[in-house]
Structure 1
Amino acid sequence: MRISAQVAFAWADFRITLTGKPRRKGRGQTPQAGTDSESQGFAGRELLREAVARLRDGRWLAVVAALAVLAGAIAIAGRIASGQAADNLRDTALAALPLAAGTLTGEIEKQRLVPLVLARDDAVRGALRRAGKMQEAALNDKLKAIAGDASASAIYVIDTAGIAISASNAGEPTSFVGIDYNFRHYFQEAMAKGAASQYGLGTISGRPGLYLSSRVDDNGKPLGVAVLKVELDGVEANWRSSGFLVFVTDERGVVLATSQPDWRFRALAPLSAEDVAAAHEQLQLADAAFEPLPFRRGAGDGLATIDNAGKPRQFVEVVQDLPGAVPGWRLWLLTPADAALSSAANTARLTTLLGLLLLGLIAYVLTRRRRTRRLRQEALARMNAELESRVSTRTAELTRSNTALAGEIAERENAEAKVRRLRDDLAQANRLSILGQIAAGVAHEINQPVAAIRTYAENAGRFLDSGKTGSASGNLTSIVSMTERIGAITGTLRTFARRPGVAASPLPVREAIDGALSLLSGRIRDSGVTIVRPRGNASPVVMASRIRLEQILVNLLQNALDAMKDQPDPRIEIELAERDDRVLISVRDNGPGLGPEAAGNLFMPFQTTKEKGLGLGLVISQEIVQELGGTLRLDPGNGSGASFTIDLRRIE
């Protein structure tokens, strides 16, 4: 009754506030002047009766409705927050998925190269030709060294009958030598298709691993198979350290590599008898039951539940196929979600509750404060004025920010323009440096026609004195020819020294090659180097600047000439090839070549093997090629000398 009375008085006070009528004064208070205390008391009692009647009719219904709305809002907020938390976890998992996949595929691709290389090794072929006739101690040692360098579990060579004739673990108690592997899928498939892979248990070690095999051929005739076994312990350890639950399944859903060791060789779902038999044969697991994992996938919400000792735990799952690693493999990455979902839901519920309570309080306060229309209009005017002030302030801030941003953009554009100018100046300086280096040869080229012109001129004078005008005319014609030759040489120099335009144009590649050889003709003749030009007469067309392409070729030719100094029988080959829509220009010499350290730092500025070199020629050449939409690379070494290839897009 006490609470009901308090509510009734509160309602009466609210009604009086809305109607503008004063409440009845309490004991000890004096009525205002000009009012009737009796009439005020009567009005208050009437309002009190009306308030009590209304509370009796609809109070509990309103309370129940308010509580229902509050509970519904809290529940909805919890679900929304849980969904957002799951989406955030999924984004995190998707970001980590390429790294987890790259760890596995990178290890497999690295190891996959070993059997491919061994299949082309002469020692392996020789051993297979002599299979069964002698012990291959040298090959065993070689395979052991390669296995150590590649971090492979084992490497071995099998003949056509399926017998291992050499292995990296030869001489050990677990040696593979003499073991029959004819039943293995990786042997049968490699013999049939050239290469194969198989995940399974080792017949001797009993440890799981991935077998990668490649057929060894001799002029089209199969000699045997080179096999590498890699155990994915390092990959699984890396997955465990990431904090995620990661595993790989085959096409039947059987778990292979996993960060949870007790999940290995279990299945995502119960397997049929046919699938069990196929898995036994493929994985070489005769006794495996392939029990289902304690793993339940959600109905399209991306959540999975794992039963852990009777306690279900939720995870966010993401999946990626791995066709590049092994066909049929899929990578699963699970992120623990219980803590994040519960925390997000509880935080959202509490926030919603506090927000609704705050809204209720605000509504009550606003209701109490709305006494008259004039006060409401004044409050609205004040709010509008404040809003306009904030908009003006924010507009001024945005204007200042936009002005500053425009200044930064202009400053960055100026900086980029300066960088482009500096790069062009550096390329021009490089061309002028090249001209300085070949100036002596060009002077020698010009001296010969100048001396010939003088001789022809003197003879022409004598012929004219003796009346032999025909002979004099012939000498004058020769002089004209010599001046044209001098003009061609100086024209090439002027063209090469000129700063190139920005736009490229269709250019036959042979024209640039002929121009570069013309610039270096004197030095080439004096050095005694044999130049082998591209075979045939075809000249593919690329989109490039002739001056820039000549500069790259002159850089490569000069480097080759420098490398073959004091070399016996020096020789430079220029090759021109077309592959699909690409044009390949190769410059190859038979000099001493480049060491691994020099090759690794080849395109770094100020890295050079010359005594007086600056180490900028190849850097500038590479930037020019990239501007033309191509690449400049050092070809892998296949003997003595060095080979560089310019790769440009061919145009029709």
Structure 2
Amino acid sequence: MRISAQVLFAWAEFRIRLGAKPGSKGRGPTPQQRIDSGSPGFAGRDLLREAVARLRGRWLFAAIALALLAGAVATAGRIAEGQAADDLRDGALAALPLAAGTLTGEIEKQRLVPLVLARDDAVRDALRRAGKVEETALDAKLKAIAGDASASAIYVIDTAGMAISASNAGQPDSFVGIDYNFRHYFTDAMAKGAASQYGLGTISGKPGLYLAGRVDDGGKPLGVAVLKVELGGVEANWRASGFLVFVTDERGVVLATSQPDWRFHALAPLSAADAAAAHDQLQLVDAAFEPLPIRRGAGDGLATIEEAGKSRRFVEVVQDLPGAVPGWRLWLLTPADAALTAAANTARLTTLLGLLLMGLLAYVFTRRRRTRRLRQEALARMNAELESRVSSRTAELTRSNTALAGEIAERENAEAKVRRLRDDLAQANRLSILGQIAAGVAHEINQPVAAIRTYAENARRFLEAGKTEPASGNLTSIVSMTERIGAITSTLRTFARRPGVAASPLPVREAIEGALSLLSGRIRDSGVTIVKPRGTASPLVMASRIRLEQILVNLLQNALDAMKDRPDPRIEIDLAERGDRVLISVRDNGPGLQPDAAANLFMPFQTTKEKGLGLGLVISQEIAQELGGTLRLDPDTASGASFTIDLRRIE
């Protein structure tokens, strides 16, 4: 239809250019021009040649497009087939260990039976009196063992190769009295102690694997115990799996297979020497070892089986089986026709639809190019106007951004001032606390200073008297006293220092001990009993030690002030863990807080002390919030007041 339309279009253009219609305003020459040209058909021939050339160009373009389309579709099909083959190969490789395990498991299950029978006393006794007594008891025993082991047959052969007892004794196909001297498993077992051989049964005519073990008596061979494994159950499992599975020996002869008519075929034609060796090993008389109907592709990993005039494609994987019988290999073929055909057809259809869609889009694109050209000028005018508006708006936004940046800078400066004021206020609070505990610390220092003076005077007298040993003891005591003074002043310096911003993992008990150390003098002078947290656990929190000690010192100071002139004053410090939270409680047995005072406790400049500023608890609460926690007054306290610091525990 498309070609016919092109022909009609070219013919119509040809007629118009010839001026076929009277009064036509076409671009072709007029009749007078045709007369002037000297030949009425001259222009017509030129236009016809032009139309034919145009048709040829379009035909060539269409042919090239169709060739590219066919090539793309074919390539997509091949790629899809390759990917589908890879997926099938992955599935076959996953199923290969299971198929191999079915075979090796069956063989390994039976392999130990002949070796165990070779050590059995009943078997040895029977071989010692071979040919003299009928072994009915041993026959029954072998029959029971064969039934338990799911073996095809178990029998015992003397040194002459004659079967003296068998699990099928008394049956028409009994092995008793049969000469097996010609079997390789008999001669190899007598020579090496153990042997195996795959072949047809001389009585049953069924193929199987013979496993043999030599029976010895004090190093002297008495005979051979043999077990025959028929792999029919293994082959049935292979057939049920849906895969085509077979096992070959070292010469490529098929032994066990899910395709029964392939048994004793070969992967490739055997040479005369290999065929003779295979006949001897398998002890087959009329086997021709015909090649399997398998044809392998060149590098695509696919195998084609041609049977009954039909070709089927398979994905082929292989695995050696050294654990079963040396030289055996397991082959697993996965049917691939349906998957490869479906993948290729899907890819071809998808590619075809995609290319057609691309062609349609290209056609639409070319049709719209003309419309876009007409809109370009209008768009250019609109862009110019838009750019003008954008420039104006940009100028306004620039002015607004400049003003906003100024406001942000002012706000940041204000926030920085607030932070500095808050830090200064916290530092002032610490210095105020230091002023309050200075007397206690001075008292703490005076005692070791006085003791140092006494020890020094005594040491001088001892030295004058020539008593160096007591003098050395006094000097050691002086060193101990100076260390005590250093510890006290170090704690004060650390507490007075402005804390850094960064927090670190901190054991809570270290902060509690530091706060108690700062207030040790006042606590001792006030006679207050301090109850420390029970146990030895010290959970970690992310905090600055100085800031946490400042909160604890504030709470302990308030508790000491509240219990002034109280009988039996007592402060309990409790430490508890609840989930991922650590709770530090400071509880006193003072007079407690009135409801109105408790309601405004954390408001600035609200205090119950005569000389207090009302900032200690406010600062402590802000510090707790900076550490990611809270500080609260515990409600419903029976007596006194209780405050709890709630911080997040870290592992």
TM-score (norm 1): 0.50
Structure 1 residues 65 and 195, CA gap change in structure 2 (3 angstroms): same
CA–CA separation in structure 2 for the residues paired with 1:187 and 1:179? 13
CA–CA separation in structure 2 for the residues paired with 1:289 and 1:242? 29
Q: Which residue of 2 aligns with 1:86?
A: 85
Amino acid in structure 2 at the alignment position of 1:178: G
CA–CA separation in structure 2 for the residues paired with 1:91 and 1:200? 33
Deviations 1:288-341 (A, max 9, x none): 112222222222322111111122221111111111111111111111222222
CA–CA separation in structure 1 for the residues paired with 2:367 and 2:252? 67
Deviations 1:171-208 (A, max 9, x none): 11211112111111111111111111100011111111
Deviations 1:93-119 (A, max 9, x none): 111111111111110000111111111
Contact kept in structure 2, 1:314 and 1:338, CA below 8 Å: yes
Q: Which residue of 1 aligns with 2:348?
A: 349
Deviates more, 1:362-371 or 1:255-264: 362-371
Structure 1 residues 141 and 10, CA gap change in structure 2 (3 angstroms): farther
In the TM superposition, residue 55 of structure 1 has moved relative to its aligned partner by 2.7
CA–CA separation in structure 1 for the residues paired with 2:292 and 2:366? 61
- SS of match in other structure, 1:290: coil
Amino acid in structure 1 at the alignment position of 2:293: P
In the TM superposition, residue 49 of structure 1 has moved relative to its aligned partner by 11
Contact kept in structure 1, 2:84 and 2:343, CA below 8 Å: yes
CA–CA separation in structure 1 for the residues paired with 2:12 and 2:193? 91
Q: Which residue of 2 aligns with 1:200?
A: 199
Q: Which residue of 2 aligns with 1:315?
A: 314
- SS of match in other structure, 1:326: coil
CA–CA separation in structure 2 for the residues paired with 1:115 and 1:367? 84
**Identity %, equivalent residues:** 79
Deviations 1:500-555 (A, max 9, x none): xxxxxxxxxxxxxxxxxxxxxxxxxxxxxxxxxxxxxxxxxxxxxxxxxxxxxxxx
Question: How do residues 98-497 of structure 1 correspond to structure 2 at under 5 angstroms?
Answer: 98-370=97-369, 371-372=371-372
CA–CA separation in structure 2 for the residues paired with 1:262 and 1:132? 41
Contact kept in structure 1, 2:7 and 2:55, CA below 8 Å: no
Structure 1 residues 180 and 372, CA gap change in structure 2 (3 angstroms): same
Q: Which residue of 1 aligns with 2:71?
A: 72
Q: Which residue of 1 aligns with 2:578?
A: none
Contact kept in structure 2, 1:163 and 1:179, CA below 8 Å: yes
Structure 1 residues 235 and 7, CA gap change in structure 2 (3 angstroms): farther
In the TM superposition, residue 42 of structure 1 has moved relative to its aligned partner by 6.7
Deviations 1:457-505 (A, max 9, x none): xxxxxxxxxxxxxxxxxxxxxxxxxxxxxxxxxxxxxxxxxxxxxxxxx
**Unmatched tracts of structure 2, length 5 or more:** 14-23, 29-46, 384-651
- SS of match in other structure, 1:356: helix
CA–CA separation in structure 2 for the residues paired with 1:340 and 1:376? 52
CA–CA separation in structure 1 for the residues paired with 2:12 and 2:157? 96
Amino acid in structure 2 at the alignment position of 1:61: L
- SS of match in other structure, 1:372: helix
Deviations 1:223-266 (A, max 9, x none): 21111001111011111111111111111111111111111111
Deviations 1:351-401 (A, max 9, x none): 1111110001111222333333696899xx9xxxxxxxxxxxxxxxxxxxx
1:4 aligns with one of 3, 6, 11: 6
In the TM superposition, residue 150 of structure 1 has moved relative to its aligned partner by 0.7
In the TM superposition, residue 163 of structure 1 has moved relative to its aligned partner by 1.4
CA–CA separation in structure 2 for the residues paired with 1:2 and 1:279? 72
User: Which structure's CA Rg is the greater one?
Assistant: 2
- SS of match in other structure, 1:172: coil
Amino acid in structure 2 at the alignment position of 1:165: I
CA–CA separation in structure 2 for the residues paired with 1:123 and 1:55? 103
Q: Which residue of 2 aligns with 1:441?
A: none
In the TM superposition, residue 78 of structure 1 has moved relative to its aligned partner by 1.3
Amino acid in structure 2 at the alignment position of 1:230: V
CA–CA separation in structure 2 for the residues paired with 1:158 and 1:376? 103
- SS of match in other structure, 2:298: coil
Contact kept in structure 1, 2:6 and 2:55, CA below 8 Å: no
CA–CA separation in structure 2 for the residues paired with 1:239 and 1:217? 38
Contact kept in structure 2, 1:74 and 1:352, CA below 8 Å: yes
- SS of match in other structure, 2:303: strand
CA–CA separation in structure 2 for the residues paired with 1:7 and 1:78? 38
Structure 1 residues 256 and 2, CA gap change in structure 2 (3 angstroms): closer
Structure 1 residues 359 and 376, CA gap change in structure 2 (3 angstroms): farther
CA–CA separation in structure 1 for the residues paired with 2:367 and 2:150? 79
CA–CA separation in structure 2 for the residues paired with 1:235 and 1:93? 18
TM-score (norm 2): 0.50
CA–CA separation in structure 2 for the residues paired with 1:148 and 1:306? 39
Amino acid in structure 2 at the alignment position of 1:331: L
CA–CA separation in structure 2 for the residues paired with 1:303 and 1:248? 19
Structure 1 residues 140 and 2, CA gap change in structure 2 (3 angstroms): closer
Structure 1 residues 261 and 61, CA gap change in structure 2 (3 angstroms): same
In the TM superposition, residue 129 of structure 1 has moved relative to its aligned partner by 2.1
Contact kept in structure 1, 2:157 and 2:165, CA below 8 Å: yes
Contact kept in structure 2, 1:8 and 1:51, CA below 8 Å: no
CA–CA separation in structure 2 for the residues paired with 1:111 and 1:151? 9
Amino acid in structure 1 at the alignment position of 2:182: F
Structure 1 residues 137 and 59, CA gap change in structure 2 (3 angstroms): same
Structure 1 residues 60 and 329, CA gap change in structure 2 (3 angstroms): same
CA–CA separation in structure 1 for the residues paired with 2:376 and 2:95? 56
CA–CA separation in structure 2 for the residues paired with 1:267 and 1:4? 63
**Unmatched tracts of structure 1, length 5 or more:** 12-37, 382-652
CA–CA separation in structure 2 for the residues paired with 1:250 and 1:10? 79
In the TM superposition, residue 283 of structure 1 has moved relative to its aligned partner by 1.1
- SS of match in other structure, 1:296: strand
In the TM superposition, residue 219 of structure 1 has moved relative to its aligned partner by 2.6
CA–CA separation in structure 1 for the residues paired with 2:375 and 2:120? 96
Amino acid in structure 1 at the alignment position of 2:6: S
Question: How do residues 7-86 of structure 1 correspond to structure 2 at under 5 angstroms?
Answer: 55-56=54-55, 58-86=57-85
Contact kept in structure 2, 1:247 and 1:257, CA below 8 Å: yes
- SS of match in other structure, 1:314: strand
CA–CA separation in structure 2 for the residues paired with 1:81 and 1:105? 36
In the TM superposition, residue 9 of structure 1 has moved relative to its aligned partner by 12
In the TM superposition, residue 132 of structure 1 has moved relative to its aligned partner by 2.2
In the TM superposition, residue 218 of structure 1 has moved relative to its aligned partner by 2.3
Contact kept in structure 2, 1:322 and 1:328, CA below 8 Å: yes
In the TM superposition, residue 52 of structure 1 has moved relative to its aligned partner by 5.6
Contact kept in structure 2, 1:318 and 1:333, CA below 8 Å: yes
Structure 1 residues 376 and 68, CA gap change in structure 2 (3 angstroms): farther
Contact kept in structure 2, 1:93 and 1:333, CA below 8 Å: yes
